[in-house]
Amino acid sequence: MILKIDKVFEYGIGNELEASIQQLLTDSFPFLYPRDRIYFKQLPQFRFLAFNQENQLIGQVGLDYRVMNLNGKPVRVLGVIDLCVSPNARSQGVGSTLLLEIDKFSVGRYIDFILLFADNMTLYLRNGYRPVKNKCKWVKIDNETQITTGIGLEQLDELMIKKVGKIDWVEGELDLLGYLY
């Protein structure tokens, strides 16, 4: 499959592209994703979008760059948000291509880790991510009202990382210093 990958900043997404992203997200997360927006809890800073030969959107991933606190020390993290592939384009390497694009983007940048949360880890394990066990702290946001409801504090079994910098990951406490992707 021939793909075209575009990097788009969130503030540059127009109405037509927004509608395509909305459709892809609701097709991919039919019972979870809000039908009135293209983000779950918060806007990503930018996205990689995958288009097929007919210039149809078939995959997307949001990315968020931020500092987190790992056991009292700051780490620079590129967060992977809502990677998804159109149902008719799955198992054709689109997800791995998007992850490879993130890897290429991360080279030579001030990023210590790529971080994500995954219910199904198979794709990520195949692409060099590993599950980690850390007690996490984050800002809780109600999805419907988009209001801060408190602070979450628990170990999340879905947490995965990929080392791209020189710092080693350690177990312990991870303060996301913001919302949970």
Measure the CA–CA gap between 152 and 138, rounded to whole angstroms.
5
- Domain of 134, CATH number, reads 3.40.630.30
The mean pLDDT value for 18-26 works out to 94
Spatial separation of the C-alpha atoms in residues 63 and 166, rounded to whole Å: 21
Amino acid at 53: Q
Question: pTM higher than 0.85 for the full model?
Answer: yes
What is the domain count for the chain? Answer: 1
| Backbone region of residue 128 per phi and psi (left: phi > 0; alpha: psi in -120 to 50; beta: other values) | left
Structure confidence by residue, pLDDT tens digits, 111-141: 999 999 999 999 999 999 999 999 999 999 9
Per residue in 40-50, pLDDT (tens digit) is 889 999 999 99
| Tally of CB atoms within 10 A around 62 | 24
Higher pLDDT, 170 or 37: 170
- pLDDT score of 1: 63
Closest CA to 61 of 5, 141, 133, 139: 5
In the chain, the amino acid numbered 129 is Y
Domain interval for residue 41: 4-179
Distance CA 35, CA 72 (A): 38
Tell me the backbone φ, ψ of residue 53, rounded to 5 degrees.
-60, -25
